[in-house]
Structure 1
Amino acid sequence: MRVGVVTFPGSLDDEDARRAVRIGGHEAVALWHGDHDLQGVDAVILPGGFSYGDYLRCGAISRFAPVMTEVVAAAGRGMPVLGICNGFQILCESHLLPGALIRNDHRKFVCKDQKLRIENTRTPWTSAYDEGAEVTIVLKNGEGGYVADADTLDRLEGEGRVLARYLDGNPNGSMRDIAGITNERGNVVGLMPHPEHAVEALTGAGTDGLGFFQSFGAAIAG
C-alpha cells in the first residue's frame, strides 16, 4: 500500500512516520502542505509537530492548507486517515473529528512512555490489535487534553468510537482518559500518543505501536 505522510511547516515527526510506514511493510509517499495532489495514495498520515508554529491554536492554520482540501474530500470517500498528536489537533480543527485538544491541565509539556488500552479494533488503523490490548507508546505533548461537551462524549462512548484510553494515570487531563477517537465511519482516527516512535526495539520504546502501521493494509485489501 502507498501511504502519504503530509509535511507542514513545523512538522517534526514526518520522517519518523514515513520510516514507520516502511517498517510496517508499505511504501511511504511524502506529501507537501501546499499541494492539491495526494499522488494516488491509499491512506494518509498527518504527523506530529508544531505545524505553522501552533499559532492561533494547534492545527488552526493547518486546516486551511491546500492539501487538507484533498484530505477532507478523500476521508469523505472512505480513505483511511490517521492524525498523530498535532495531526489529531488538525483533524479536530478540520471537523473530521469532534472535540478539541487544549493545554495540559498541569500546564507542562509531558514526554514519557505511556500505557494505553486499545478499545476499538474495528478501524483500518487498529485491526492488528486485540480489543482491550494494553500497549505502551511514547507520549509527548503540551496541548494534549481532549475535551468535548457531555453529549459528544456520551455519543463517542455509546457508539464505541473511543479508540484508546490512558492507563496508570491521566497525563494531560483528557476527559474520560481519552487518548484517541475515531469518526462515525471508522476510517479517520486521531491519537495523541506517537505509535511511530514505538516500531522497533532499537529505540528502546518497544514495538507496541507497529500495529497502527500494519493494520490498514489488510483493511484496505479486504
Structure 2
Amino acid sequence: MTVAVVRFGGSNCDRDAVRALEHFGVDAEIAWHEDGLPAEVSGIVLPGGFSYGDYLRAGAMAARSPIMDDVRDAVADGTPLLGVCNGAQIGCEAELTPGAFTTNASARFQCEPASLRVENAETPWTAAYDEGDVVEIPIAHGEGRYELDEAHVEELENEDRVLFTYCDENGEVSPDANPNGSTHAIAGVLGDEEHVAVMMPHPERATLPDLGRTDGQGILKAFA
C-alpha cells in the first residue's frame, strides 16, 4: 500500500513530502492530479506549493480538480489524509475540513520558524506528543490566516478538533505569537473524522535530521 502525494500544477513540496515519508520506511509516490489516485492507497498527502498559481483563491482551483473526487471517496472509506500549507487551503476549499485560509494579517509572505502548542494528543497525527507540548515547525505562506466564525470555532474546540495553535516558546498564546492573525491562533484542525487533518506549518520540513529540526516527525509517523 502506498501513500499518494498529490501533485497539482504549481505544487512544490511534493518531493519534500515523499522524502520525509520515506525516512520512516513509508512507501510514498507522487500522484499527478490528471491521472487520479493509485488503485490502492494507505494515505494521502496534499502538499504545499502554489497550485494553479493561487488564482481566484489559494487552493480553490485544485479543490475542483477531478482527482479530488477520488480523494473524497478514499477519505470516506477511512483513508488518512493530511493537507499541508497549500494542501490545507485545498482541503478547506474542498470542504474536507471547516474554515478558510486568507491573506496574512501582515499582508506579506512569511517564511520562518513557528512554535505550536499541541491541543489534542489523542489523534493519529499527534499521538507522538503530549497535550501542551510545544513544537517548532516552519511556516512559509502568504495566505495562511485561518478564518472561521466564532460559533464554529467553539464547536471545533468543544469537539477537540483543534490540533495545534500558534504560541510562544513557553506555550503561551498571544497576538505577538500568532504569525498570520489566524482565528484563535489555530494552526491545524481535524475534519469531521480524526483521520482527516490540515495544517498550515510544514512538518516535512522538520522531519529529516539533516535539516536541523525534527519536531514534525510525529505528525508524519501517522502514515507509518
- Partners of 2:123 and 2:2 lie apart in 1 by 18
Counterpart position of 1:202: 210
For the 8 Å contact 2:162–2:189, the answer to whether it is kept is yes
**1:24-82 deviation per Cα after TM superposition (whole angstroms, max 9, x unaligned):** 22111211111233331100000000000000000110011121110011111211000
How do 1:75-154 and structure 2 match up within 5 A? 75-154=75-154
* DSSP 3-state at the match of 2:78: coil
- Partners of 2:193 and 2:122 lie apart in 1 by 10
TM-score (norm 1): 0.94
Q: Which amino acid aligns with 1:66?
A: P
Matched, 1:215 2:190: no
- Partners of 2:74 and 2:188 lie apart in 1 by 21
- The offset of 1:151, in angstroms, is 1.2
Can you give the 5+ residue segments of structure 1 that lack an aligned partner in the other structure? 218-222
- The offset of 1:212, in angstroms, is 1.4
- Partners of 1:2 and 1:174 lie apart in 2 by 33
- The offset of 1:98, in angstroms, is 0.7
Can you give the 5+ residue segments of structure 2 that lack an aligned partner in the other structure? 169-176
Match of 2:188 among 180, 191, 195: 180
How do 1:51-90 and structure 2 match up within 5 A? 51-90=51-90
For the 8 Å contact 2:3–2:223, the answer to whether it is kept is no
Counterpart position of 1:220: none
* DSSP 3-state at the match of 2:184: helix
- The offset of 1:178, in angstroms, is 0.2
- Partners of 1:114 and 1:87 lie apart in 2 by 18
* DSSP 3-state at the match of 1:115: strand
- Partners of 2:95 and 2:198 lie apart in 1 by 12
TM-score (norm 2): 0.93
**1:190-209 deviation per Cα after TM superposition (whole angstroms, max 9, x unaligned):** 000000001122112x1001
Counterpart position of 2:200: 192
Following TM superposition, the consecutive aligned residue runs of length 4 or more in structure 1 with deviations greater than 4 angstroms are none
- CA RMSD in angstroms, aligned pairs only: 1.1
* DSSP 3-state at the match of 2:41: coil
**1:170-219 deviation per Cα after TM superposition (whole angstroms, max 9, x unaligned):** 00000001000001211110000000001122112x100111121233xx
Identity of aligned residues (%): 48
